[in-house]
Amino acid sequence: MRLILLGAPGAGKGTQAEMLTKLYDIPCISTGNIFREHISNNTELGQKAKAYMDEGKLVPDSLVIELVKSRITQDDCKNGMIFDGFPRTIPQAEALDVMLKELSIPIDFVINVDVPDELIVDRMSGRTVCPSCGASYHKVNKVETVAGKCDLCGETLIQRDDDRAETVKKRLDVYHEQTEPLIAYYKAQGKVLDIDGVGTVEEVRDRVKKALGVK
């Protein structure tokens, strides 16, 4: 089973990816992990990628594709794989299609987890963390006992920059502009399974399974 997970940042893709790796015994492919592995092993591709990153530049798509290819031709991908967070743009999707065609391993389904922006902003901007012990809290899902204080160590909780409403909105804008067009791209190939991402993790999981025809 070869899958791509699409959805806005904060739509809960990671949790579903975890479920799917177990269900189909396939690894989750994230470009971040591939980059880190190549860089820590100091491979030729890793050195090239690092040169761009050190200059604060984006790693070009052609190199990203080479890195992805090096990963999905490994043994543990023989049953398939899940792409999470890649492709991010139409040019990346086109390059991925070309590569998978060469390898004769087309994508089976693209799972599109749909959550309204307002809900994502609510979910993410509700998070706080303890700067001392790292415990995390949420104004709805995991409320601390004494407002604003860590249950474990009493430290004052903070909100990470990544979780501020303005930051979340900016990331959503980038998603809508660059990544959302992929839904239409894959719909034209008849591969998209639209999943309502509103609800509990279990509810969304059951919808994903149903869409994939898993009992």
- Measure the CA–CA gap between 97 and 112, rounded to whole angstroms: 18
Q: Which of 51, 53, 103, 153 binds Zn ion (CB under 5 A)?
A: 153
Question: Which of 152, 119, 161 is CA-nearest to residue 134?
Answer: 152
28-29 and 81-84 strand pairing: parallel
CB under 5 A: which stretch of 77-85, 147-155, 170-178, 190-198 binds Zn ion? 147-155
Q: End-to-end alpha-carbon separation of the chain, Å? A: 16
- Write down the catalytic residue from 48, 169, 171, 209: 171
Q: Which of 53, 103, 133, 165 binds Zn ion (CB under 5 A)?
A: 133
Q: Which of 33, 43, 132, 136 binds Zn ion (CB under 5 A)?
A: 132
Is 88 one of the annotated active-site residues of the chain?
yes
Do residues 172 and 121 lie in contact, with contact meaning Cβ atoms separated by under 8 Å? yes
Is 205 one of the annotated active-site residues of the chain?
no
Do residues 15 and 21 lie in contact, with contact meaning Cβ atoms separated by under 8 Å? no
Q: Which of 4, 29, 64, 150 binds Zn ion (CB under 5 A)?
A: 150
CB under 5 A: which stretch of 34-42, 61-69, 151-159, 204-212 binds Zn ion? 151-159
- Write down the catalytic residue from 78, 160, 170, 210: 160
- Would the annotation count 15 as a binding residue? yes
Question: Which of 83, 82, 74 is CA-nearest to residue 103?
Answer: 74
Binding to Zn ion in span 154-173, by CB under 5 A: 155
Nearest distance from residue 153's CB to Zn ion, in Å? Answer: 4
Do residues 29 and 206 lie in contact, with contact meaning Cβ atoms separated by under 8 Å? no
Distance from the Cα of residue 117 to its chain's centroid? 16
Binding to Zn ion in span 50-109, by CB under 5 A: none
Q: Which amino acid is at 72?
A: I
Catalytic residues: 13, 88, 127, 160, 171
Binding-site residues: 10-15, 31, 36, 57-59, 85-88, 92, 127, 130, 133, 136-137, 150, 153, 160, 171, 199
